[in-house]
Chains A and B, each alone.
Chain A
Amino acid sequence: MQFIKDIFIAINDIFLKMSWLDQLVRWFFKDVIGLNEESLLFSSITFFVYDVIKIFILLTVLIFISSYIQSYFSPEKTRRLLKGKKGVGANSLGALLGTVTPFCSCSSIPIFIGFTKAGLPVGVTFSFLISSPLVDLASVILLAGIFNWRIAIAYVVVGLVIAIIGGSLISFLKMDVQVADFIKEARQIGCASDLVEETMSRKERVHYAFDQVKEIIHRVWVYIFIGVGIGAIIHGFIPEQFILSILGDRNPFSVVLATIVGIPMYADIFGTLPIAEALILKGVGIGTVLAFMMAVTALSLPSMIMIKKVIKPKLFIVFVSIVTVGIIFVGYVFNAFSYLLV
Chain B
Amino acid sequence: MEIKVLGSGCSNCKRLYEYTKQAVDELDITANIVYVTDMIEIAKANLLRTPGLIINNHVVSYGRVPLVDEIKEMIKKA
Given the complex of chains A and B, what is the CA–CA distance between A221 and B12 in angstroms? 17
User: For chain A residues 112-138, which have a beta carbon within 8 Å of chain B?
Assistant: 113-115, 117
Report the minimum CB–CB distance from B37 to chain A (whole Å).
11
Q: Taking CB as reference atom, which chain A residue is nearest B47?
A: A110
Given the complex of chains A and B, what is the CA–CA distance between A109 and B13 in angstroms? 14
User: For chain B residues 5-45, which have a beta carbon within 8 Å of chain A?
Assistant: 7-13, 39-40, 42-44
Given the complex of chains A and B, what is the CA–CA distance between A91 and B23 in angstroms? 43
Residues on A with beta carbons closer than 8 Å to the beta carbon of B11: 219
Residues on A with beta carbons closer than 8 Å to the beta carbon of B44: 186, 189, 191
Residues on B with beta carbons closer than 8 Å to the beta carbon of A104: 10, 12
CB <8 Å contact, A76 and B48? yes
Given the complex of chains A and B, what is the CA–CA distance between A113 and B44 in angstroms? 9
CB <8 Å contact, A182 and B46? no
Report the minimum CB–CB distance from B10 to chain A (whole Å).
3
Residues on B with beta carbons closer than 8 Å to the beta carbon of A114: 43, 46-48
Residues on A with beta carbons closer than 8 Å to the beta carbon of B46: 114, 117, 191-195
CB <8 Å contact, A106 and B62? no
CB <8 Å contact, B8 and A195? no
CB <8 Å contact, B42 and A113? yes
Given the complex of chains A and B, what is the CA–CA distance between A69 and B11 in angstroms? 24
Given the complex of chains A and B, what is the CA–CA distance between A115 and B9 in angstroms? 21
Q: How many residues of A contact B (CB 8 A)?
A: 29
* One of A74, A182, A194 near B39 (C-beta < 8 A): A182
CB <8 Å contact, B8 and A74? no
Report the minimum CB–CB distance from B14 to chain A (whole Å).
11
CB <8 Å contact, A110 and B43? yes
Report which residue of A76, A79, A185, A193 has the largest number of chain B beta carbons within 10 angstroms of its beta carbon. Answer: A76
Given the complex of chains A and B, what is the CA–CA distance between A23 and B62 in angstroms? 46
Given contacts A182-B39, A182-B43, A186-B40, contact A110 B48 (CB under 8 A): yes
**A75 contacts partner chain B, Cβ-Cβ < 8 Å:** yes
Residues on A with beta carbons closer than 8 Å to the beta carbon of B13: 106
Residues on B with beta carbons closer than 8 Å to the beta carbon of A192: 46
CB <8 Å contact, B59 and A110? no
* One of B8, B43, B48, B62 near A306 (C-beta < 8 A): B8
Report which residue of A104, A106, A110 has the largest number of chain B beta carbons within 10 angstroms of its beta carbon. Answer: A110
User: For chain A residues 58-87, which have a beta carbon within 8 Å of chain B?
Assistant: 74-76, 79
Report the minimum CB–CB distance from A193 to chain B (whole Å).
7
Residues on A with beta carbons closer than 8 Å to the beta carbon of B8: 106-107, 109-110, 306
Residues on B with beta carbons closer than 8 Å to the beta carbon of A115: 48
Residues on A with beta carbons closer than 8 Å to the beta carbon of B47: 110, 114, 195
Report the minimum CB–CB distance from A293 to chain B (whole Å).
24
Contact with B along A19-37 (1 / 0, CB 8 A): 0000000000000000000
CB <8 Å contact, A113 and B9? no
Binding site for A on B (CB under 8 A): 7-13, 39-40, 42-44, 46-50, 59, 62-63
Q: Which 8 A-B pairs have the closest CB atoms?
A: A106-B10, A75-B48, A114-B48, A113-B43, A186-B43, A107-B49, A106-B8, A182-B40
Sampled A-B contacts (29; CB under 8 Å): A74-B63, A76-B48, A103-B49, A104-B12, A106-B8, A106-B10, A106-B12, A107-B50, A109-B39, A109-B42, A110-B47, A111-B49, A113-B39, A114-B47, A114-B48, A115-B48, A117-B46, A182-B40, A186-B40, A186-B43, A186-B44, A189-B44, A191-B44, A192-B46, A195-B47, A195-B48, A195-B62, A306-B8, A309-B39
Known: A110-B49, A115-B48, A195-B48. 12 other contacts (CB 8 A): A74-B49, A107-B50, A110-B50, A111-B48, A113-B39, A114-B46, A183-B43, A186-B44, A189-B44, A191-B44, A194-B46, A195-B62
Binding site for B on A (CB under 8 A): 74-76, 79, 103-104, 106-107, 109-111, 113-115, 117, 182-183, 185-186, 189, 191-195, 219, 306, 309-310
